[in-house]
Amino acid sequence: MKIADKDIPAILVALVIAVIPYWLRLPIWITAWALFFWGYAFQTTYRNWPLPKPWLRQTLIPFGLLGVLFSYDWALAGDTFVGMLAIMVSLKPLEIRTHRDKMITVFLSYFIILTHLLYDNSFFIALYMLVSVCITTAVLIHINHTSAGMPAHLKLSARIMIQAFPLTIALFILFPRIQGHFWGVFNPAAERTGFSERLSPGDISSLAQDNAIAFRVDFHGNIPAPDHLYWRGIVFWYFTGQSWERGNRAPTRQSPFLGTETVQYTISLEPHDKRWWFALDLPEFAPRRVRLLDDFSLTSWRRVTVRTVYTLRSHLAFHTGPLRFWEAAALELPPQGNPKARALAQDWWRQNREPEAIVAKALSFLKENGFGYTLRPTLLEGDSIDDFLFRTRNGYCEHFASAFAFLMRAAHIPARIVGGYLGGERNPFGNYLIVRQSDAHAWVEVWLPKTGWTRIDPTSAIAPARVQQGSAAALPPAERPIYLSSQYLATLYRYWKPVQFAWDRVNTGWNLRVIGYSRSQQQELLTSGEIMGASVKRILIGLLFLSAAIAMGLGVFYWGLRKSDLIQTERVQRAYEIFCQKLARTTRPRRPEQGPVDYGRQVAGERADLAQRVAEITALYVRLRYGCGGNEGDEKRLQSLVKGFKPGKKRD
Amino acid sequence: MQAYTIRGKGIRFRPTGYGVLFGVVVAAMTLGSLNYNNNLGLLLAFLLGGMAMASLLHTYNNITGLQILSMAARPVFAGETAVYELQVCAEALPKRSILFSFQQSEAICQDMITRLPRRLSLRIPADQRGWHNPGPLRVETRYPFGLFRSMMYISLNIHCLVYPKPIPGPFAAVQNYALSGSQGGKELPGMDDFKGLQPYLPGEPVEHIYWKAFSRGQGLQIKQFVEPAGTVIVFDWNSIKGVHVEHKLSRLCDAVLKAHRFNLFYGLNLPGKSIPPDAGNTHRQNCLKALALFQTSISPVIT
């Protein structure tokens, strides 16, 4: 018969806690698979269920792995490996027999914790990581030292963790970083929302309900007015008849761009797995290893797979100069299609060739013909521009931008579509902007002889609230997010919002200081003694406070540990020793071999005045120490008697 | 012996196999995190490394201040198991998961050692008569993580006396002769004639206790037997037939044990050593010790 192994439930707890952050990410069947086998492993210890035979386990593993490959469409990407890891880890507890198996499973648990950090670097996950490491370490202690209870192990594990903090922080600051990679990276976060090389109707409206953060912006000064917060990302030059494409014609800009109304800001860009970087209007120059194209969009050599922090200087007022020869692409249209729209634009052009007049006519056309701003537009058929302009007449920003740019080109005005974000939410706790995927937007830039490339946002003509209050407020009431449509939820949301902002502030600080700590900052810190504006002095003071806090925490832990760790007999012994020490000042000390009763008699002989109290303490001690344990009250009484025992000076 | 307290000097540190594996895991985590520029991963790797380092301190603290209060072993017969009894305690803070072992013994694990002395016994099979030397005592701990071991060898110089293995045989093979001189006519403790009852004193053979008197509430009394005066026996080396030394010693050992059991007055005659006839526990031990150490060169100093 198998003897139940009490370590297995503890190991299972550590594994479950390590894997919990994955459960939203993994296919549901892998979660079910893991829970099933872990539940079974649990039952083998508690109900003595038989362990599956080795051949069964060895058959299950390949099936599980095939299942993972199938779930991920046979792609060998990061998610697939994580899924495979989950499959193998879920079967591991069923083959735990020896101490070695247990140790390896605990190490695996640490490894799982690590792999999750490839997906998520938030402050919350860091806290979760600490908790998870603490529990896993407690299990590690448990399998090496079973007799004490789990609470004591957790305490010890937390204590060791606190003791490890100074070394950890020192290593973190000083450990040499590398630039680039040792080997190729697979990107575990392959499925990101955001812009692609092509803009089709429906692309941006699909982002509208995605509350994920695109980037955060910290202005080195005042935040510009909302109608200036157009974050340019990608410029679409080519119209295929259905969608707009970016193409590759824009050359790298050779000279810095100069305008007026300069703003400087730092963007912390979330990974979106594409090459574009976002900038406010027209950036003056590109950050290192990024190209500033002649259409003022920024592209990096590498995909943005990790959070990236960069500082830019932009100009809000400018003149881009004459139209360059390659920018003739801004007039190209497919030879056929959308005849009604073409005819309309030609009409305007014939009436008045002044570009500004044509732009105004187009805007008023959109304003006056009952166009609606909606997330759920009627499906377009046939010639999409014609269908939109003359039949459905409702859509999201990409519909308006696309139709407007088409009309402009048909009226011989150079036009291009810009994809990016509009607006952002100001965080009152840190005075920075949070720009979300739901702020994604598309607008048009036309080239006018007087002003050069000029931004025209046709959406603002139909839904002015979009610019001032964000996309949610501009939508018709039925399409607004639920937290804005229900009275009750709206109240709740008002209270929730500050919490969210405060949390984002903490996270942002975390991202800037800890996650964003890089080789260059390390060098900066080590050479100039400054890092991101914080001097070494400030850091040292911070570390001092931190270590004081750690010392205090340690003291509390240590004290708590000593108190609870001594068993009753030891505490009793200790009290009696104190009693003897007190007596030794006034009478002959107790000889090592002298029993307590004998000693009590001796003291009574020397100091008759103490006899009664000594007898009481001795009797209590003998009962607690040599009797059947005594009870709580006896021990407390002994402690208080010893504490209050004051033999005084010896009288002659 | 004096109490021995483990102090810093002489403690050896080694990572265990798991410690090495853990180091590899942490190194892999560090490399991977560096490669992915993942600072949080680095933080985790450094935290785990730092925790392993901090655990080293605990491993060290867990062995220093451990006290070996005493160690002793009762004599055994060859072929039996020598049992070394230790008394250990912790000087201040409790010690956990301490392994005690000799080279040939199985390790004994003490989960918790506090200030209260605790007794534990280590067993080693003793095959040869003479002084059994267990070698240094090995004290080891892997607490708390099992990644590092701190270990110390302590030479306590405690030995176990191993008597020859008794081989049963005819008791008559020994030579009887009369005791001469002053002891003649005295009554000697023996097994033949019942003399009377006497109050029991600790140390007297239990089989002589008169239980009927005890059950009547008259306390513990022993039945006394006497040997007719003047009869003593001496076990002589030359009277045992055979050439094998160990065999002869075993036979003599058996004779001594039997004589003691029968409460006889006996002596021992070995080449180079002779023990005059006497009785009692001390005499028995002297005789057995003489047999155990016969022609052995090892004579350890016992402190």
Residue A259's pLDDT band (cuts 50, 70, 90): confident
Query: Looking at the partner chain, which of A110, A118, A163 has a beta carbon nearest the beta carbon of B36?
Result: A118
- The first and second tokens of residue B266, run together, are 């006996």
Domain assignment present for B3: yes
Based on the domain organization, do B139 and B218 belong to the same domain?
A: no
When the pLDDT of each residue in chain A is averaged and rounded to a whole number, the result is 82
Pairing of strands A534-535, A530-531: antiparallel
CB atoms within 10 A of CB A377: 19
Contact A168 B55 (CB under 8 A): no
Decide if A532 touches B, using CB distance below 8 A: no
- The first and second tokens of residue A417, run together, are 């579509």
Instruction: Dump pLDDT digits (tens) for A533-543.
Output: 556 666 777 77
Based on the domain organization, do B192 and B244 belong to the same domain?
A: yes
Domain assignment present for B105: yes
In this model, does residue A87 exceed pLDDT 90? Answer: no
A269: Cβ–Cβ under 8 A, 6 or more apart, which residues? Answer: A214, A215, A277, A278, A304, A307, A308, A309, A310
Based on the domain organization, do B54 and B134 belong to the same domain?
A: yes
Assess contact for A304 and A381: CB atoms under 8 A: no
To test the contact with chain A by mutation, choose from B20, B25, B26, B44 the residue with the greatest count of A C-beta atoms within 10 A, namely B44
Nearest CA in chain B to A153: B144
Domain stops at, among B163, B182, B205: B163
SS3 call for B186: coil
Decide if B44 touches A, using CB distance below 8 A: yes
Question: A19-25: long-range contacts at Cβ-Cβ below 8 A with a sequence spacing of 24 or more?
Answer: A19/A86, A19/A89, A19/A112, A21/A116, A21/A119, A21/A120, A21/A125, A21/A128, A22/A82, A22/A86, A22/A112, A22/A116, A25/A79, A25/A82, A25/A119
Assess contact for B232 and B148: CB atoms under 8 A: no
Q: Which residue in the block uniquely carries the two structure tokens 């804005």?
A: A484
Domain stops at, among B134, B163, B192: B163
How far apart are the C-alpha atoms of A515 and A310, rounded to whole Å? 14
Based on the domain organization, do B135 and B189 belong to the same domain?
A: no
Domain assignment present for B185: yes
The C-alpha R_g of chain A, in whole angstroms, comes to 36
Strand partners, B235: B268
Per DSSP, A196 falls in state -
Contacts of B30 in chain A (CB under 8 A): 175
Instruction: Dump pLDDT digits (tens) for A328-379.
Output: 888 888 888 889 999 999 999 999 888 899 999 999 998 888 888 887 788 8
Based on the domain organization, do B6 and B119 belong to the same domain?
A: yes
Element (H, E) at B41: helix B39-61
Based on the domain organization, do B261 and B190 belong to the same domain?
A: yes
pTM reported for the whole predicted model:
0.67
Number of domains in chain B: 2
* A629 vs A218, higher pLDDT: A218
Query: What string of H, E and C letters represents the secondary structure of A326-345?
Result: HHHHHHCCCCCCCHHHHHHH
* B126 vs A469, higher pLDDT: B126
Domain assignment present for B11: yes
The C-alpha R_g of chain B, in whole angstroms, comes to 29
- The first and second tokens of residue A584, run together, are 């030794």
In this model, does residue B51 exceed pLDDT 90? Answer: yes
Assess contact for A501 and A424: CB atoms under 8 A: no
Based on the domain organization, do B133 and B13 belong to the same domain?
A: yes
Based on the domain organization, do B47 and B131 belong to the same domain?
A: yes
Contact B44 A148 (CB under 8 A): no
A573: Cβ–Cβ under 8 A, 6 or more apart, which residues? Answer: A625, B115, B116
Instruction: Dump pLDDT digits (tens) for B125-178.
Output: 998 888 988 889 999 999 889 999 999 999 888 889 999 999 887 765 445 554
* Count of positions (residues) in chain A: 652
- Where would I find the H helices in A118-149? 123-144
pLDDT at residue number A416: 93
Query: What string of H, E and C letters represents the secondary structure of B126-150?
Result: CCCCEEECCCCEEEEECCCCCCEEE
Domain assignment present for B299: no
Per DSSP, B86 falls in state E
DSSP-derived secondary structure for A453-520:
EEEE-HHHHH-THHHHH-HHHHS-GGGS-HHHHSHHHHHHHHHHHHHHHHHHHHHHHHIIIIIT--HH
In this model, does residue B184 exceed pLDDT 50? Answer: no
Domain assignment present for B16: yes
- The first and second tokens of residue B91, run together, are 């000087």
Instruction: Dump pLDDT digits (tens) for A214-245.
Output: 898 988 888 888 888 999 989 999 988 888 98
How far apart are the C-alpha atoms of A215 and A281, rounded to whole Å? 16
How far apart are the C-alpha atoms of B98 and A590, rounded to whole Å? 32
Least confident of A143-157, A386-400, A477-491: A477-491
Residue B188's pLDDT band (cuts 50, 70, 90): low
Domain with B231 in it: 171-292
Residue A152's pLDDT band (cuts 50, 70, 90): confident
Based on the domain organization, do B223 and B110 belong to the same domain?
A: no
Domain stops at, among B137, B163, B189: B163
Decide if A154 touches B, using CB distance below 8 A: no
pLDDT at residue number B238: 81
Query: Looking at the partner chain, which of A166, A181, A517 has a beta carbon nearest the beta carbon of B39?
Result: A517
Say if the ipTM goes beyond 0.90. no
Assess contact for A265 and A219: CB atoms under 8 A: yes
Contact B38 A121 (CB under 8 A): yes
Based on the domain organization, do B192 and B270 belong to the same domain?
A: yes
Decide if A140 touches B, using CB distance below 8 A: yes
Based on the domain organization, do B212 and B106 belong to the same domain?
A: no
A577: Cβ–Cβ under 8 A, 6 or more apart, which residues? Answer: none
Based on the domain organization, do B156 and B200 belong to the same domain?
A: no
Tally the C-alpha atoms within 13 A of residue A644's C-alpha that lie toward its C-beta.
Answer: 8
How far apart are the C-alpha atoms of A133 and A151, rounded to whole Å? 15
Decide if B31 touches A, using CB distance below 8 A: yes
Alpha carbon of A36: minimum distance to chain B alpha carbons (Å): 28
